[in-house]
Structure 1
Amino acid sequence: MRGVVKRVFDEVHGYIDLTEIELKIIDSPIFQRLRYIKQLATAWYVYPGATHTRFSHSLGTMYIMGLVATRLMEQGYIYDSDDIQLLRLAALLHDIGHTPFSHAIEPFYKNTFSLGHEEISRVIISENRDIREILSFYGYDPNRIIAILEGRYREPLYNQLLSSDLDVDRMDYLIRDALHTGVTYGSIDLHRIIATLVVDGDGNLAILDKGVDALENFYMARMHMYKAVYYHKTLVGYELMLRKIYELLCKYYDDPLLFKSREDIVKAIRTNEIALWNDDFIIGTMVRVYRDRNAPKDLKELIEAFFFRKGYKVLVERSKFSNVPLDVDNDRDVSILNSIVNKAKELLEPHQIILFVDDIKILDEDPYVVPRVIIDNKVSIPIIEADNSVIKILPRRFHVRRIYVMSNKFHSIRKYLDLDTGI
């Protein structure tokens, strides 16, 4: 990179060079907020080392984007060095809109206001004065960065680098999450993947056939990380508990940072107050409510369970890999779990039991999303069609179906439902 003004040390990638505009953005209050948002929400309840943040992940994603974009420029697929900086900026800002505790809290806003972290990122880049002025001062149009983040930039290749099955975001978080959780099967051969990246005749990101082994490892790492880390039964239980706590905090309490509408979030972005919306704010609010003698009983019970690791436990699980999307309305296992929940509610309060169902895409089959491989120096084909690759037979999806109950109700409800005899 030209114009490097600072180097920071990253535990995954070593020294990362920063340009002047990158440093200005990183030093802004709204970006510094990411230091206080954990990458894996409540994963430290299962993996004590998983306390890394969205801040370090954002720097790492930018670094990998720089490596990939530089290689593609050397090959003649990127023509302007300013585009490398543009892509690095998009990677640096891709997670700036994450909610506190990352994916634990985000579904509350998605389900209530159809507002995910991608949309919040777009609003921050377009509405926050600091970010907008920094980008404009150095000659970068915020709308171009937003277009890359939303996958609608005029150069389709740029969209694929940040939003595809093999994008720089996934490359960084797999390595980083594996390091901090201590699991070995999340490791990938990053530099082999980058060294074999090319662009096919249609302008799509592709990989040479000599890089297929590294790509296979990438997909198998994703599959194992989804099963063992991202959807670990205990980890998900604490995320669900935290989400329920946040929902009740918004219901029972008024605080400028307990955003109850899209307009509240936009206002906080414009005034920079959103810089204080982080994990520590949520934890501090929970402590204050827990010490309040007049706090609602259900909320206080959940906070106590969260603080003292007495959270939700899996009562019944029917999770499995599959090659087809989960049809929730007609799925037999979901129907069985619903009947169990309905019966359990005869003894439990609503906050004491949760049915959790999710359909996780392990491998995308969209030819415009899945990476392509060039076989024998000929035309590229989607990796899922390559006969010489095990990716062809990997499961496409992971269906998660679980019932969670409060730990202090676990044994009594099992006995009441007579689950050991096969309900």
Structure 2
Amino acid sequence: MHRYRSKSVSGFSVKKIYDEVHGYIDLSDVEIKIVDTPYFQRLRFIKQLAVAWYVYPGATHTRFSHSLGTTHLMGLVAEKLAELGYIHSFEDVQILRLAALLHDIGHTPFSHAIEPFYKDLLGIGHEEITRMIILESEIRDILNYFGYDPKTITAIIEGRYKEPLYNQLLSSDIDVDRMDYLIRDATHTGVTYGMIDLQRIISTLVVDGDGNIAILDKGIDALENFYLARMHMYKTVYYHKTVVGYETLLRSIYEVLYRYSNDTLLPKSEDDLKRLVESGDIVLWHDDWLTGLITRLYKASSTPQEVKELIRAFLFRRGYKVVLEESKFSNTALDLENDEGIKKLRNIMNEIERYVRPYEIAMFVDDIRIIEVDPHTAPRVILGNKQSIPVFQIENSIIPKLPRKYHVKRLYALFNVWDKVMKLIREKGLG
């Protein structure tokens, strides 16, 4: 492995961290300084798969280990492409590694369970929080001290850097982020068909004539497995009916906290988020903080009964259970306004709400992309004649036959009223 010499500090130090997926991971001097900050250490307290441990008990791994793994894979891929002349210098390899290291530093407590709340309310996702942390904390000072531009790092993370290849390595269908989380999540959930052939993918990864990330045709089998693994993981882990039910429940609890809690670590505006970053208090904004807060509220006599019921359902695994499901794979985008499945679930929900309390029933809808079909951004395959084509146009491959989308459409009811709701559906012929 190449060692990256700092522009501002003479000499080079390296630390090895043992990772359960990749083995020993080497960190450079600037990377060590960043990992040692409280901002990065916060990721030890944010689980990679939010509440998936309700279904897969081993899924307690963290954003911390995933970020290190993504950095390791970025180093392997970027060094290879540097040797082939596609990455301009080994200093750029270090820049890419830093982007990989920091790409998840802005995740909220319980990640994807809570982030849609802030996205819908404030238009802010973890990418915006990541930018705040990199540009407004001691991480900015560390990057500057070692001679790396923080704005360059954020540009790569956000996919707007001047070199499209650099963006694609961290954000594309076959980027190093996906490579790490697929195999890491499969390892911890035990879902073996989520495993991928990392070695084969990386060894056949190249750049086509237009400067885009591509796979040699001898890597097609590994690429097929990659897409199949991702499709299976979406269905059986990331959008598992029970996992989504508990994420939805936790989001409902957070919405109540947002309205009624005065906890100083609960940001209610973009300015609040900025203050958390600038003061350093954001390092305490993680899964354990939220779990502690809802536990205290559960014990408090002044907490409204509705809130206590939601918290009890979450803490003691009495959460939302699927009542009806209209999910399916598809080759077209989900029409949120006109889809018949969504209309059906909405009508049933409206009818059931006459007999249960509003928070006892919930609807979840999402449209998940399985394969990128935009020929300008989709990964490409270089055939034997050196021609480059999008992955979804490969002949004699299962990739073009895979569904483009996974439409998730579900109606949930809390555990304590599930039997009642199911009886109502049967008696009224709503199913």
Indicate whether the TM-score tops 0.5. yes
Structure 2 residue 260 is matched with structure 1 residue 252? yes
Matched residue, 1:95: 104
In structure 2, what residue type is equivalent to 1:219? Y
The answer on 1:38 being equivalent to 2:47 is yes
Aligned partner of 1:121 in structure 2 is: 130
Q: Does the alignment pair 1:307 with 2:315?
A: yes
Within-5 A mapping of 1:284-363 = 284-363=292-371
Equivalent-residue separation in structure 1 for 2:258 and 2:284 (angstroms) = 17
State the alpha-carbon separation in 2 of the partners of residues 295 and 338 from structure 1: 31
Report if aligned partners of 1:196, 1:208 keep a CA contact under 8 Å in 2: yes
TM-score by length of 2: 0.97
Q: Residue 367 of structure 1 corresponds to which residue in structure 2? A: 375
3-state SS of 2:34 partner: helix
Give the equivalent residue in structure 2 for 1:14: 23
State how far apart, in whole Å, the 1-side matches of 2:202 and 2:183 are. Answer: 14
1:103-141 per-position Cα deviation (integer Å, ceiling 9, x unaligned): 00101100100000011101111111x100000000000
What is the aligned counterpart of 1:240 among 198, 223, 248? 248
Q: 1:420: how far off?
A: 8.7
* Aligned 8 A contact 1:108 1:247 in 2: yes
Alignment-mate amino acid for residue 383 of structure 1? V
Q: How many residue pairs end up in the alignment? A: 422
CA distance in 2: counterparts of 1:419 and 1:376, whole angstroms: 62
Alpha-carbon distance in structure 2 between the residues aligned to 1:275 and 1:74: 38
Question: Aligned-residue CA RMSD in angstroms?
Answer: 1.0
| CA deviation after TM superposition for structure 1 residue 368, in Å | 2.9
Per-residue deviation, residues 149-188 of structure 1 (Å, max 9, x unmatched):
1111111100100111110000000000000000101000
AA aligned to 1:95 is D
Instruction: Quote the Cα distance in structure 1 between the aligned partners of 2:91 and 2:361.
Output: 53
Given that residues 414 and 420 in structure 1 are in contact (C-alpha distance below 8 angstroms), is that contact kept between their aligned partners in structure 2? no
Q: 188, 195, 202: which one pairs with 1:194? A: 202
1:373-411 deviation digits (Å, cap 9, x = unpaired): 011132200010111211011000000000011011011
Partners of 2:373 and 2:181 lie apart in 1 by: 22
Task: Provide structure 2 residue ranges, at least 5 long, that are not aligned to the other structure.
Answer: 4-11
For structure 1, the residue ranges without an aligned partner over 5 or more in a row are none
- Output the CA distance in 2 between the equivalents of 1:375 and 1:119: 39
| Partner residue in 2 for 1:173 | 181
Deviations 1:186-220 (A, max 9, x none): 00000100000111111011110000000000000
The partner residue of 1:51 within 48, 57, 60 is: 60
Provide the residue aligned with 2:145 in structure 1: 137
Percent identical among aligned pairs is 61
Distance 1:79 1:415 in 2: 65
Mapping for residues 390-401 of structure 1, pairs under 5 Å: 390-401=398-409
1:222 maps to 230
- Cα distance 1:330–1:185, how it changes in 2: closer, same or farther (>3 A)? same
Q: Secondary structure at the match of 2:206?
A: strand
Give 2:418's match in structure 1, choosing from 410, 415, 420: 410
Residue 185 of structure 1 aligns to which amino acid in structure 2?
A: Y
Query: 3-state SS of the aligned residue for 1:313?
Result: strand
Q: Distance in 2 between matches of 1:53 and 1:192?
A: 26
Instruction: For 2:67, give the aligned amino acid.
Output: S
Q: Which stretch shifts more, 388-397 or 172-181?
A: 388-397
1:283 aligns to 2:291 (yes or no) = yes
Indicate the SS of the match to 1:328: coil
